[in-house]
């Protein structure tokens, strides 16, 4: 049966709604200055371009994304911390913390990500774990949980250390995880912020080192990094027309332009598509006060697909239902796929309560039969 250009086919106990599938041809990426690079669609984790993406390299202060993620997942953002002498005994870029300073977790993470404070990284690490080595163990456990198999973390700040490194692909996985934390996503996209710390506390304005926030409309920022050993490193993200991508470059030169090239490539391939809603339906109901049960079809989300791709929708429903039924009770499903990928599976539920039919008494059944007989006689 064809309705509105959609083909419905009966298959087993359900309905199958099919849409055609189109796979586009990928565009080329201009030459990059970075030794390793990757750009990934943030929702699915699909790699859209890679260059030596699985070689572990020093990643400098982009390490702080892992430190921030662990801290944000472990400590309440409004908790006030006291900075230890061990935390500030570190070289390199600094927020300006001193031993004995008071600072909230949220302000500490803001200083960590915007000005790349090594003192903030150590303070966060020592607030989560008893020692820096213990925190590095937590970093590596989190990396394993995220599927970062080409990474090993030693320092919370990203300062060079033997064995400290990650691949571009792994850092993209980390970037995806950071984007899923609403607070960290907001901080990464912040150009300037006001934080408070000290003993007593004082107001300090901090600015983001990521120039892409000014150069590229829709950039979400994330984290820069540099040491002589690592070269220029950058983990960034950008959003356009509802599509979000994560880009990573390690050991680069002109990393701002590298990332804008990666964005242009990724956004040329992708588009945001609203999944179609399944047609309203009802099912025969046995033993109920009504003969049919009304169904509530799910409201599907928008998803990111390659330009020109069309999703496949499969509705699975039983042939009939048994009363009693309760509103919200799951009785089927709608699955959306694109090629071999399952985009999502959503439940089909009962729209309203359907009580079971009350069994008739002996006299009730006799009255029913008499009415039926009378109707037959009067035909």
Report pLDDT digits (tens) over 46-103: 999 999 999 999 999 999 999 999 999 999 999 999 999 999 999 999 999 999 999 9
Active site residue 236: no
Question: Is pTM, for the whole model, over 0.75?
Answer: yes
368 pLDDT band, cuts 50/70/90, is: low
List pLDDT tens digits, range 193-237: 999 999 999 999 999 989 999 999 999 999 999 999 999 999 999
Strands 6-11 and 302-306: unpaired
Name the 3-class secondary structure at 135.
helix
Alpha-helical segments (H) within 220-254: none
Strand order in the sheet with 330-338: 2-3, 6-11, 14-18, 312-316, 330-338, 341-350, 292-296, 282-286, 321-322
Domains and CATH numbers, the chain: 2-19+276-350 (2.60.410.10), 36-272 (3.40.710.10)
Out of 20-24, 209-213, 311-315, which region has the weakest mean confidence (pLDDT)?
Answer: 20-24
Active site residue 44: no
More confident residue, 357 or 350: 350
Active site residue 268: no
Catalytic choice (34, 116, 151, 157) = 116
Catalytic choice (34, 36, 51, 64) = 64
Cβ–Cβ < 8 Å for 346, 309: no
Catalytic choice (34, 36, 51, 61) = 61
* Bridge partner residues of 315 (DSSP): 15, 334
Q: Which residue has the tokens 């599509």?
A: 243
């Amino acid at each position: 049966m064809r309705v509105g250009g959609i083909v419905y086919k009966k298959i087993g106990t359900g309905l199958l709604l099919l849409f055609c599938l189109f796979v586009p041809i990928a565009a080329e990426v201009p030459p990059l200055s970075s030794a390793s690079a990757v750009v990934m669609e943030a929702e699915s984790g699909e790699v859209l371009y890679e260059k030596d993406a699985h070689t572990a390299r020093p990643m400098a202060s982009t390490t702080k994304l892992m430190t921030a993620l662990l801290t944000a997942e472990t400590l309440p953002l409004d908790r006030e911390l006291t900075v230890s002498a061990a935390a500030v005994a570190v070289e390199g870029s600094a927020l300006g913390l001193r031993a004995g300073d008071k600072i909230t977790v949220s302000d500490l993470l803001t200083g960590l990500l915007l000005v790349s404070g090594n003192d903030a990284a150590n303070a966060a690490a020592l607030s989560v774990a008893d020692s820096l080595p213990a925190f590095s163990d937590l970093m590596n456990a989190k990396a394993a949980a995220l599927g970062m198999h080409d990474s090993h973390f030693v320092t919370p700040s990203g300062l060079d250390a033997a064995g400290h490194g990650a691949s571009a692909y792994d850092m993209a996985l980390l970037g995806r995880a950071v984007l899923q934390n609403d607070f960290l996503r907001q901080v990464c996209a912040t150009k300037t912020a006001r934080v408070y710390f000290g003993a007593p506390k004082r107001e300090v304005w901090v600015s983001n080192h990521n120039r892409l926030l000014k150069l590229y409309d829709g950039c979400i920022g994330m984290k820069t990094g540099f040491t002589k050993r690592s070269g220029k490193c950058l983990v960034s993200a950008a959003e356009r027309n509802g599509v979000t991508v994560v880009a990573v470059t390690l050991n680069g030169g002109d990393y701002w332009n590298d990332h804008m090239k990666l964005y242009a490539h990724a956004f040329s391939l992708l588009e945001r598509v609203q999944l179609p809603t399944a047609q309203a339906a009802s099912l025969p109901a046995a033993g109920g006060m009504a003969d049919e049960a009304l169904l509530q079809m799910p409201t599907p989300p928008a998803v990111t697909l390659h330009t020109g791709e069309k999703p496949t929708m499969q509705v699975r429903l039983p042939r009939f239902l048994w009363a009693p039924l309760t509103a919200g009770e799951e009785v089927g499903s709608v699955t959306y796929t694109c090629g071999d990928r399952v985009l999502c599976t959503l439940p089909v539920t009962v729209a309203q309560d359907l009580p079971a039919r009350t069994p008739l008494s002996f006299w009730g059944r006799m009255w029913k039969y008499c009415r039926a007989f009378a109707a037959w006689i009067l035909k």
